[in-house]
A = this chain, B = another copy of it.
Amino acid sequence: MIRVVLFEDNKNLRESLSMYLASSDSIWLAGSFSDARNALWAMKTHHPDVVLMDIQMPHITGIEAMIDIKKVYPNIKVLIQTVYEDEDHIFKAICAGANGYVVKNPNPEVYIQAIEEVHAGGSHLSPNIAAKVLAMFQSQYVRIQPTFIELTQREKEVLGCMVKGMSYKMIADACDIKFSTVHSHIKNIYEKLHVNSAPEAVVKALEMRLI
């Protein structure tokens, strides 16, 4: 049986969810709490396999509690359950190491399924959350190149150096060309990118994934 600990500040929800989880024969509800300040103590006492964690709670947020838990017990799986569906919360939860993200749902079956999946080493994301994660993922990698700009090999090289924060002198050294040549290349780069300063060029280069 999967040992589960629940954190949820809303009394009604906590009690109904507890009752439901306790009635499942694959889950052993080891404890349920309204406050995550005692999270580490709860872990130590109940050593759960999976923690079902609300985000919005008084005193300390579920994400903060999860960070604490993961620091001490990296093997405990944490399943976030919340009403928040905005990118910011999703992002923070994922970065903090959440093993799943379930949107609060009147249908309690999904909790069981999510807990089982997470316990088995997978992750569970509610469909809307999954869609947002995929969208975030895509926007990171799918380049948008409305204006296709061609930089020569040398120009890319120089731009690459600029991104690394190198000065003209350092670039000249690194590329084994004269200072004045670097100057020329950068003039051309600025012309092509329609910018007129190094920071702008760097931002544009990163945005367009030119380098």
B163 touches A94 (CB 8 A): no
Chain B residues within 8 Å of A180, by CB = none
Let me know if A125 is at the binding interface, CB within 8 A: yes
Copies of this chain present in the complex amount to 2
Q: How large is the interface on A (under 10, 10 to 19, 20 to 34, 35 or more residues)?
A: 35 or more
A137 touches B94 (CB 8 A): yes
B122 touches A128 (CB 8 A): yes
Chain B residues within 8 Å of A31, by CB = none
Report Cα–Cα, A165/B204, bound state, in Å: 9
B131 touches A165 (CB 8 A): no
Q: Chain B residue with minimal CB distance to A100?
A: B130
Report Cα–Cα, A116/B99, bound state, in Å: 23
A124 touches B127 (CB 8 A): yes
Report Cα–Cα, A189/B171, bound state, in Å: 24
Let me know if A133 is at the binding interface, CB within 8 A: yes
Task: Name 21 interchain pairs, CB-CB below 8 A, sorted by A.
Answer: A95-B138, A99-B134, A120-B127, A121-B127, A123-B125, A124-B127, A124-B130, A133-B137, A137-B137, A140-B140, A162-B199, A163-B203, A164-B200, A165-B197, A165-B203, A167-B197, A198-B198, A199-B201, A199-B202, A202-B203, A206-B206
